[in-house]
Amino acid sequence: MAIYWQFVFFVLASFVLRVKSNPAPESYVVYMGSILKETNPEALQAAHLQMLSSIIPSEEKERVSLIQSYHHALKGFTAMLTEKEAALLSGHDGVVSVFRDRILQLHTTRSWDFLEKESGLRSERLRRRASSDIIIGIVDTGIWPESPSFSDAGMGKIPSRWKGICMEGSDFKKSNCNRKLIGARFYNNAPDSVRSPSNSSNIHGITSFGSPRDSVGHGTHTSSTAAGSTVMNASYYGLAQGVAKGGSPSSRLAMYKACSLGGCASSAVLKAIDDAIYDGVDIISISIGMSSVFQSDFLSDPIAIGAFHANKWGILVACSGGNDGPDPFTVVNSAPWILTVAASSIDRSFQSNIVLGNGIVLKGSAINFSNLSRSESFPLVFGADVAAESTPVSEASNCYPGSLDTEKAAGKIILCVDSDPTVTRRVKKLVAEGARAKGLILIDEAEKGVPFDSGSYPFSEVGNDAGAQILKYINSTKKPAAVILPAEDVEGFKPAPVVAYFSARGPGGLTEAILKPDLMAPGVGIVAASMPTVDNEDIPAGKKPSNFGIKSGTSMACPHVAGAAAFVKSAHPRWSPSMIRSALMTTATTTNNLGEPLTDYSGAHASSLDMGAGEISPLRALSPGLVFETTTEDYLYFLCHYGYKDQVIRSLSGTNFSCPGKPSPDLISNLNYPSISIASLNSKQAGRTVSRTVTNVGPANSTYFATVDTPSGFMVKVSPEKLVFTRRLMKASYEVTFHVTDATKGYGFGSVTWSDGAHSVQTVFVAHVV
């Protein structure tokens, strides 16, 4: 027997050694910087194949092939490499970075009317005059072209500059594109881990990875939010009925399908951006990103790389900031050349009332289409009181899978808590449904503001106060009872907007010297186009699949900003991406519909680390007065101060740029950005001074005066305090000096506002006292 086990050990050890010495190849992205001049793609691909041949053993020559080739605005490729081969390539002349083809995640968990109402301005006349030549590229899960939101009725000819194509698939024809949806590409060389599971099908039962068609619903929703055509009498099974439209209904759309339900391959996302630049889009909207836990360096992040090149070509890139809030340092897509978006609520809530047996009515939050009514009543129990045998009370009270006794729970309404976020609301609902409970009430102070869609199953979510009231009723009543009523939408909800609890927070994990997120837009309970589903769980009894859906996430906030940027671009076609970003940021609002400072989901005052400059106000952004222009050279200086070497920056930019003599991370705060962030400040310093330059885009002869909202414990001085302009596009510079007087460790928040009586140009700032 001993000899047998020695033999087994020898075989296993040999196998392990063989695996270690011959590790399986993985997909790697090899990024090689800017293309200096128009290059023959075939010649470039041949050169890349030659590079692979030089490092891949001849006996594995089948790996000498390109998964993706980047040859429009940037150059590089994706190939199957071992870790050793990737390291060899990273030292090759002309290679900027080599990184694993990681999986990026989708950022999902009446909005335009609300934004326009809050601005106090009339919009329809302005929107009718908006140019239809603006093209928004969406990098996402595909699109459902039959949606009425993508109708091209009344639209003129496609801009002649457009170079894009409409790729065909088994369920997608060229005729699915029109004068609204003018382009559609898909990328089907993604790793198996990101392909849609077989049960994720659309109304035709097709998973649709091999075509631009959406089989998830995410891309259709984001596309229509950004630039959907006006659709009358839109609703989600009768909820939120009204007019559906995108932020820039006159704009064109191009879909770049790089994602599925499982996520998005980095290589496909980078290829999508490269193609979008070549095709001729004006705005790119990306509602995906890295995990905040595993954030990549700027030049190992496909979105940051692609966005840099897009910006260089005059294309604004808006990205979702992520859904890992409310913890600090969770914001992603934080490169300074990206417009990073946080999520907020709007003035509409989806309310599902709970009627207790004693007649008390409690307001809950949910989207449910149950057929229950006030005339009915069912026994009400706490989850812990109907626990399955040998189940811990904590698990039953949280509606863990398998924690409820079916005989005890059947026919009753269950009350559960959400003290363990690892069990999602959908799972808790399925647990209650599986136990044959009549309905589920969930206590969750944080998530109650983000409505959960339970389909036809009776569900409602309440905060801690209402939850305590229900528990008290259960414990003090011999036969407690309740009924959960179907959802109804309530407009005019106050306060709004509120920072969503899930919205990722700053500071940025890579540098605190750039304030992120940049601004905030609606991302909670957003109604927009969606693919019709065959999932009976989500379709109310007796209803046909809806053409619209309600979703939440910074994924939904991002296309609001992309649409707003397109709206501004249509009015100012010569403005650069940084000018549009500046206009949106400096005109953002920091008060809610009660006229009070914006708050987060808990009612606490929201800071710039939560919401950036504030909530977008697209109509105000049309006339900002002054703008902060940030050039490509400014971004190269940022990379110097961040720590990149000259050669890397030259390859990235395709220039002969050289860093200054003494680059320093402290100098990043001098980037000509529409906000200010001081990463480190203390009372022992003489003070920190940052400079800014503004460009006059308002009246030729105008004088602006500065006012400062100074946080307690600081002294902030602006010099000069007056800026005089004698012509349009004239520039003027000023300095802002920060001193710590008696501030304690932590963050101080304030703003500098320039006003000429007609325009208010607000620059928010954050100073970190260490």
Identify the three-state secondary structure at position 571.
Answer: helix
d(CA 395, CA 401): 8
What is 152-211 written as a DSSP string? -TT--PPPTT----B--BTTB-GGG--SSEEEEEE-----GGGSPPTT--BTTS---TTS
**Which amino acid is located at 313 in the chain?**
W
Judge whether 266 and 148 are in contact, CB under 8 Å.
no
Identify the three-state secondary structure at position 633.
Answer: helix
CA angle, 455 then 457 then 462, to 5°: 95
Place of tokens 């596309």: 223
What is 173-186 written as a DSSP string? -GGG--SSEEEEEE
Q: How many CB atoms lie within 10 A of CB 631?
A: 13
Catalytic residue among 48, 72, 107, 218: 218
Asked about 218 being catalytic, the answer comes back as: yes
Catalytic residue among 123, 397, 555, 582: 555
Tokens of 452: 């959960």
d(CA 769, CA 767): 6
d(CA 564, CA 589): 14
Question: What are the backbone dihedrals phi and psi of residue 276, each rounded to the nearest 5 degrees, phi first?
Answer: -60, -40
d(CA 501, CA 516): 16
Residue 278 vs residues 265, 273, 519, 529: alpha-carbon distances, Å: 20, 9, 28, 28
Judge whether 520 and 342 are in contact, CB under 8 Å.
yes
Tell me how far the alpha carbon of residue 420 is from its chain's centroid: 25
Residue 615 vs residues 243, 342, 346, 554, 630: alpha-carbon distances, Å: 22, 9, 11, 13, 22
d(CA 568, CA 618): 7
Q: How many CB atoms lie within 10 A of CB 748?
A: 22
d(CA 37, CA 25): 33
Q: Is the dihedral of CA 578, 583, 584, 585 positive or negative?
A: positive
Tell me how far the alpha carbon of residue 78 is from its chain's centroid: 25
d(CA 45, CA 78): 11
Catalytic residue among 140, 279, 282, 418: 140
Maximum pairwise Cα distance, the chain: 97
Residues sharing a CB contact under 8 Å with residue 575, sequence separation 6 or more, in sequence order = 568, 569, 583, 627, 697
What is 645-688 written as a DSSP string? -HHHHHHHHTS-----SS--GGGGGGS--SSEEEEEE-TTSS-E
Q: Which residues of 272-299 are buried (b: 16+ CB within 10 A; e: fewer)?
A: bbbbbbebbbbbbbbbbbbebeebbebb
Judge whether 517 and 341 are in contact, CB under 8 Å.
yes
Asked about 140 being catalytic, the answer comes back as: yes
Judge whether 738 and 716 are in contact, CB under 8 Å.
yes
Closest-CA residue to 281 (of 507, 562, 536): 562
Active site residues: 140, 218, 555
